[in-house]
Amino acid sequence: MSKSQDKIVYLVSLGCAKNLVDSEVMCGSMVTHGFYIAENPEDANIYLINTCGFIRDAKEESYAYMDEAVAWKERAPGRIIVVAGCLAQRAPLEIQKSYPQVDLIAGLDDVPRLPELICACLDNAAKHEISRELPTYLYTDETPRVALTPESYAYVKVAEGCDHRCAYCAIPLIRGNQRSRTPESVEKECVQLLNNGALELNFIAQDTSRYGIDLKPQENLEALLRRCDRLEGDFWLRVLYTHPLHLTDGLLDVLANSRHVVPYLDIPLQHISSNVLQNMKRGMYGDKTRELLQRIRCYYPQLAIRTTFLVGFPGETEEDFQELLAFVKEFKFDRLGVFAFSPEEGTPAAAMKEGLVPAEVAEQRKAAIMEFQATISLEKNKAMVGKKVRVLLETQLKSRQWEGRTAADAPEVDQLVKVTTKRKYIEPRFVEAEIVSADEYSLVATEI
């Protein structure tokens, strides 16, 4: 074992909230083994990048940080670079070839023994080889974890991996098949996070709506939510990343009739054209998607619905795109994001040769949807003026001014509310507020 002064880590965490949880577990493991986490890379001798490898832009961002790490390493002898996460799992040989300065490439199953592997690097041990088998690691409530989110909220990864085989997605190739945590473990972690001051818990997985299907006996998301909804305290419980194939009336009932579960549904649809959805291998076509959304709106009109779409997929015609654009205009989603297609190595979509959509056309289609969504969002936000809402205050801007979110807004991806408070608060809290003005993607409110 090296001395403590030789074990100071600077962490860069890239990608989604699911990857952020992995970063928190990495930090928990390292701190437990005598490592220190630095806020500035110049104070560290270990530069750890938890990479994302989901799409081209994410990979380019990961490589950009590797470039920074190489420059950092060259400024002082004895420094080491560690690359972990999805891109490390997916392309270790590529990283090794392009960045020989990287000392350790750690796969997803290496997360629990990262301290051991880093110490081996510090002691000049032989290079570590990543297993080429699909990962099987799954953290539990007993796993050490260091919070990297603001104190107001936390993420709870209820499952890892994915059993879907969407034609464009490399996640199952990277993270393996779905494996769910036990409901007991999830509940215990929720209690821990609430005791540590979290006011919002966000359940995440590649597909939260299939939670528990792999357990024996089988569990399901509705039962898990009801279990955790019984916990004491004043907090929000939010569900992210649900698949339309597995959305049940039982889940809608939980969303509509809970103490803590917020009226918010994150349901990535990817498209509405049956032609495109079939090519994507999504398992649900346009007519069934429309029926599902109408059922949701009829059952629970107040539910805030967030979705994401993928444009430029091979075979997407102008007619397909116009159908999607008309659908966005018609349904008026509360929250919406758009991605342009990125061919990912090893996926069926990457091998498609017909109907390829030029990248610039995909970007134009993305911009067209987001432009219209801005008008929808402005219309919905202006309708909020004069209404009273509950706001989770998160970031203090001035003495009596905070930035926060409503129940209709998930962390990091949705809009914010700027609130003028009646008192001087020193920590995050819930307040009742009245909306006084709005623009496309933000609200202004005054505490009541």
The CATH number given to whatever domain includes residue 350 is 3.80.30.20
Q: Please tell me the pTM assigned to this model.
A: 0.94
- Same-domain check for residues 373 and 403: no
On whether residue 179 sits in a domain, the answer given is yes
Residues 100-136 pLDDT 10s: 999 999 999 999 999 999 999 888 876 788 877 899 9
Range of the domain at 329: 153-382
29 part of a folded domain: yes
Of the candidates 228, 188, 230, the one whose C-alpha atom is nearest the C-alpha of residue 208 is: 228
Q: Do residues 273 and 186 share a domain?
A: yes
Query: What CA–CA distance (Å, rounded) separates 150 from 252?
Result: 29
For residues 409 and 305, give the distance between their C-alpha atoms in angstroms, rounded to a whole number.
10
**Number of structural domains found in the chain:** 3
Same domain, 97 and 165: no
Identify the domain boundary among 348, 382, 416. 382
Q: Tell whether 145 is covered by a domain.
A: no
Does 306 fall in a domain?
yes
Task: State the Rg of the chain over Cα.
Answer: 23
Q: Looking at the structure, do residues 269 and 293 belong to the same domain, yes or no?
A: yes
Say if residue 217 is in the same domain as residue 324: yes
What per-residue string of b and e applies to 401-415 under the rule 16 or more CB within 10 Å gives b? Answer: ebebbbbbbbbeebb
**pLDDT tens by residue, 133-152:** 899 999 999 999 999 999 99
Give first-to-last CA distance, the chain, whole Å: 57
Spans of the chain below 50 pLDDT: 1-4
Strands (E), 205-261: 236-239
Instruction: Give the model confidence (pLDDT) of 338-349 as tens digits.
Output: 999 999 989 999
- The confidence score (pLDDT) of residue 2 equals 42
Q: Are residues 272 and 318 in the same domain?
A: yes
Name the β-bridge partners of 201: 154, 237
Q: What is the pLDDT of residue 5?
A: 55
Cβ neighbours of 126 (radius 10 Å): 7
Query: Quick check: is 220 in a domain?
Result: yes
Is 91 inside a domain boundary? Answer: yes
In a domain, 134, yes or no: no
Is 93 in the same domain as 213? no
222 and 95 fall within a common domain: no
CATH of the domain at 66: 3.40.50.12160
